[in-house]
């Protein structure tokens, strides 16, 4: 019988829990994660240090948001032009 007895399963579980807690962005960067969307907030709200993995992801999310807004705007313009074409009876061409 040894002086110290280890329960490896409990030790592994504890290590796994600590790693999981460390990897949760919201635990380490309070305010960086939007509670509703589970996405990183905009860099205007919470600026991370440059060249970190999270700052790169944040930048990509900002770009995706801008692209969605652009697509929505273009979709509205196309819808407006389509309705205008129906009303006026003229054929509009996009170039």
**pLDDT at site 94:** 66
Determine the straight-line distance between the first and last CA of the chain, rounded to whole angstroms. 85
**How many other C-beta atoms lie within 10 A of the C-beta of residue 86?**
9
Tens of pLDDT, residue by residue, the chain (95 residues): 556 676 778 888 888 888 877 766 666 677 788 888 878 888 778 877 777 888 888 889 889 999 999 999 999 998 998 898 889 888 877 67
Give the 3-state secondary structure of residue 33. Answer: strand
Q: What is the pTM of this model?
A: 0.59
């Amino acid at each position: 019988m040894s002086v110290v007895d280890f329960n490896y399963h409990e030790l592994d579980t504890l290590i796994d829990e600590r790693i999981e807690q460390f990897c949760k962005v919201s635990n380490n960067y309070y305010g960086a994660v939007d509670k509703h969307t589970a996405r990183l907030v905009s860099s205007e709200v919470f600026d991370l240090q440059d060249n970190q993995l999270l700052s790169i992801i944040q930048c990509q999310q900002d770009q995706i948001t801008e692209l969605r807004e652009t697509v929505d705007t273009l979709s509205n313009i196309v819808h407006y032009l389509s309705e205008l074409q129906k009303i006026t009876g003229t054929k509009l061409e996009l170039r």
